Amino acid sequence: MTKKTIRNLLLIILFLFSTNVLAQEVFNINLSITDTLIIRKKVKKSYKYAIKINAELNIPKLQDSVVLYSFNKYVSSNFFDVNNFRPDKYKYFSTRLSYVIEDTNNQIIDAPHYFVSYVKSKVETRIRNERMFVSPKLKIERKLLTIQEQRDYDLAKYVIYSEKHSLVLYPLLGEYHSSLPKGEYYLYFVYSDYNPRVPPPEMMVEGKLDEGNVFRGYFVSNKVKLIVE
């Protein structure tokens, strides 16, 4: 193989690589919370209740559709490094849609997570096979799912077909911030699906990556005031 042939092959590979990278940057997604204020009333067993938030996804120049993975409308709170958190650092990782709560000093309120040890293995198995949903009255309900239903829930595939798309999200506040004291806070969402080299197994179809128009990037929503009273 001559040097000229090798040079031409390298140019072709470079072109294909740059084209692939550009294709992954086509979609620019903006998530906006359209509510101007969220009020959370302290009630008995507040740990059993979520909150409801109206939002809008804006995708300029969308020609066909775009797919978001790990984008569940029942939104958990990630276990952020509260002492060193910057929303933009999540563009280098893959994290599901998560909500963040800050106090009026822009300090993140931690979402404690407790590990429970179960005496009976059957109970532990049942708990692991359950997933969280939200009823019309905003009550957090755990439902026992089949293996396929768990897979679909965890994958949380969300397909968007229009440049502007309205949706409702349910931050699971009772699960992650049930002891939030009365006062004023700010809430916003973070999402990232950056790493194309580590696709979820569910995206593999017959050994090939079924990527389609999968969004590769990150976005952070606007902040909205949350009042706990």
Task: Tell me if residue 46 falls in helix, strand or coil.
Answer: helix
User: Which residues lie across from 47 on neighbouring strands?
Assistant: none
Distance CA 222, CA 34 (A): 9
pLDDT in tens, 35-66: 999 999 877 788 899 999 999 999 988 888 88
- Half-sphere exposure of residue 220, counting CA atoms within 13 Å on the CB side? 12
pLDDT in tens, 115-168: 455 556 666 677 788 999 999 999 999 999 999 999 889 889 899 999 999 999
Q: What are the backbone dihedrals phi and psi of residue 165, each rounded to the nearest 5 degrees, phi first?
A: -135, 120
Helix spans in the chain (H) = 3-24, 121-128, 147-155, 173-176
Distance CA 94, CA 118 (A): 30
Distance CA 73, CA 14 (A): 39
Q: Structure pTM?
A: 0.78
Question: What are the CA-CA distances from residue 158 to residues 51, 68, 97, 130, 171 (Å)?
Answer: 21, 5, 11, 21, 17
pLDDT in tens, 65-88: 888 888 999 999 876 554 555 656
Q: What percent of the chain has pLDDT over 70?
A: 67
